[in-house]
Chain A
Amino acid sequence: DIQMTQSPSSLSASVGDRVTITCQASRDINKYLNWYQQKPGKAPKLLIYDASILETGVPSRFSGSGSGTDFTFTINSLQPEDVASYYCQHYDNVPYNFGQGTNLRIK
């Protein structure tokens, strides 16, 4: 099984800040990585697929990069509505494991 190590587990930043979350796969997953945003009581929302492609309708302040084993998710100019939990997940081979999540708060 491929394990996903996501960091940090929690993060506090100010409105307008640039925020970065990392995800490391235990072996090469090519580009097969999703990033999600999840707000309390809601289903996860796909933000980025294939490691770097922005899902339709997602604001351009969200971006992703990386391939192989190391991936980065960035929010440029953090907005109050970005308070949420963020997860990475690979879909290279089953099981499609998730990272442990990052809880993002506003200072």
Chain B
Amino acid sequence: QVTLRESGPALVKPTQTLTLTCTFSGFSLNTLGMCVTWVRQPPGQALEWLGLIDWGADTRYNTSLRTRLSISGDTSKNQVVLTMTNMGPADTGTYFCSRIQKDASSGNVKAFDVWGQGTMVTVSS
């Protein structure tokens, strides 16, 4: 069974750095074609893709957030960590992690099929 779970602080102060952890089971980030990805959602607003890390530890980021975002992985712990610097009120929202599977031989992609339950982060002094 594939599961993902986000964890981290519920409250951060403006200008602080946010660190969230996605702990997963049922798959390995070492598997060719596997990625773990982050998405967020401000209260009452749409979903926003943040970034991903792949099986080779390569990372990709949302164009508008790339200077503030960093994603890293610890395959021994089955964890992926998201770090976002200089947090502001506009960063308040629920942060989700999910996975993407790319089959190198067939080219098929199965993306965002399983999600964590999300973790709510509020930015306030």
Contacts and interface: CB of A to CB of B under 8 A. Distances in A.
- Scoring B61, B111, B116, B117 by chain A CB atoms within 10 A of each residue's CB, the highest score goes to B111
A17 B113 CA distance: 28
A97 B49 contact: yes
Contacts of B116: 43
B38 to A, nearest CB: 11
Nearest to A33: B111
B21 interface: no
A99 interface: yes
Interface residues of A, number: 24
A85 B52 CA distance: 24
Interface string B77-115: 000000000000000000010001000000001111101
- Chain B, interface SS category: strand
Contacts of A42: 117
A94 B111 contact: no
Contacts of A38: 47
Contacts of A1: 63
Nearest to A103: B44
A95 B49 contact: yes
A47 B11 CA distance: 32
Interface of B: 37, 39, 46-49, 52, 60-63, 96, 100, 109-113, 115-118
24 contacts: A1-B63, A32-B111, A34-B112, A43-B117, A43-B118, A44-B39, A44-B47, A44-B112, A46-B112, A49-B111, A50-B109, A87-B46, A89-B112, A91-B100, A91-B109, A91-B111, A94-B52, A94-B60, A95-B60, A95-B61, A96-B37, A96-B111, A97-B49, A99-B46
Query: 6 closest A-B pairs (Cβ-Cβ)?
Result: A43-B115, A91-B111, A94-B60, A98-B47, A96-B49, A101-B46
